[in-house]
Amino acid sequence: MNQRWNQALLAALLLGQLILLSTNSTSRGSPLEGIVLGAVGPLAHAATLTKDSVVGLFGSFRMAGSLRQDNHRLRRELEDMHRTLVRLHGVEEELTRLSRISGYSRPEKGDFFVADVVYVDNASWLRSLVLYTGDAKPQHNQPVVTIRGLVGRVVVPADPYAKVLLITDRSASVSAMIKRTRRRGMARGAGEESLLLDNIPLQEDVRPGDEVVTAGIDGVFPRGIPIGVVTSVEPGHELFHRIRVQPHIEFALLDQVYVFNEQVVPADIKEVLSSKEGTSSSIIRSSGRQD
């Protein structure tokens, strides 16, 4: 192949990828990305299985001595959990009864499925996870959580794999509120495993240690999922605080997550809203800032 052919091919490849770059965004992956993720996902999954079996083998030798104690402790914990569950069932029934009496209709609580983390990319400026969802079919914008709090949302579903944009990614944002005061703001990824909580006025009472949870008004994340804790409050530019939030999750250590099947705003209503120009559609898109 001569030099001219080499340069023409290089130019074509670079141009093609520039077009690809300019047409996609981090909040919604391209179809090609889904196809490639489907192809390389099994290899990342195989690596997880290899690691699990190696760690499991060594772990079983190491932990053999403490198995009896662990068993005893776990049984006790299970009994405690069971008691809590029974109590919570009672509370739920009471809430349902009170809601019915007061005429308040609560949003339906959706289902969720468990997914394995097969790849974590926490390189300094790009933050994402790849999940193996098994039989469950992943969908765009599904919230991803763990028992400790919010992780992110699905941006590229490539059945049985899904790419998740972490809340700490600089292109991610979540409508959030301070649990103590119920004051709403916008939590956006600030990199380095932290978030910034925007749009909280200076006169608002915010203290380090305040719990931040999802506000449930962005059409993606249900209300009340823990996000993190306020670590610093400084006077920012203009009229707002500059609030830094430390997420509850240590993203590098994730191995299993829960993916919500719940649609906060039903798909048919979303379609109607997104077809109209106006405030309603911008609220729905506000969970993931478009690049």
Q: What residues line the site for other proteins (CB under 8 A)?
A: 1, 5-6, 9-10, 13-14, 17-18, 20-22, 24-26, 29-30, 32-33, 36-37, 39-41, 43-44, 46-48, 50-51, 118-128, 130, 156, 163, 165-166, 169-171, 191-192, 252-253, 289, 291
Instruction: Return the H-helix or E-strand segment holding 4.
Output: helix 3-23
Give the integer Cα–Cα distance in Å for 228 and 194.
9
Please identify, using beta-carbon distances, which residue of 124 and 203 lies nearer to other proteins.
124
Is the Cα dihedral 270, 273, 275, 277 positive or negative?
A: negative
- 75: tokens are 């049984």
Please identify, using beta-carbon distances, which residue of 77 and 121 lies nearer to other proteins.
121
**What is the CB neighbour count within 10 angstroms for residue 30?**
14
Please identify, using beta-carbon distances, which residue of 163 and 183 lies nearer to other proteins.
163
What is the smallest separation between the CB atom of 150 and other proteins, expressed in angstroms? 17
Please identify, using beta-carbon distances, which residue of 7 and 96 lies nearer to other proteins.
7
DSSP class of residue 63 equals T
Cis before 160? omega within 30: yes
What is the smallest separation between the CB atom of 104 and other proteins, expressed in angstroms? 40
What is the smallest separation between the CB atom of 133 and other proteins, expressed in angstroms? 16
What is the smallest separation between the CB atom of 51 and other proteins, expressed in angstroms? 4
Q: Report the b/e string of 60-85 with b at 16+ CB within 10 A.
A: eeeeeeeeeeeeeeeeeeeeeeeeee
What is the smallest separation between the CB atom of 281 and other proteins, expressed in angstroms? 20
Please identify, using beta-carbon distances, which residue of 86 and 253 lies nearer to other proteins.
253
- 217: tokens are 């008004």
- 17: tokens are 């990828």
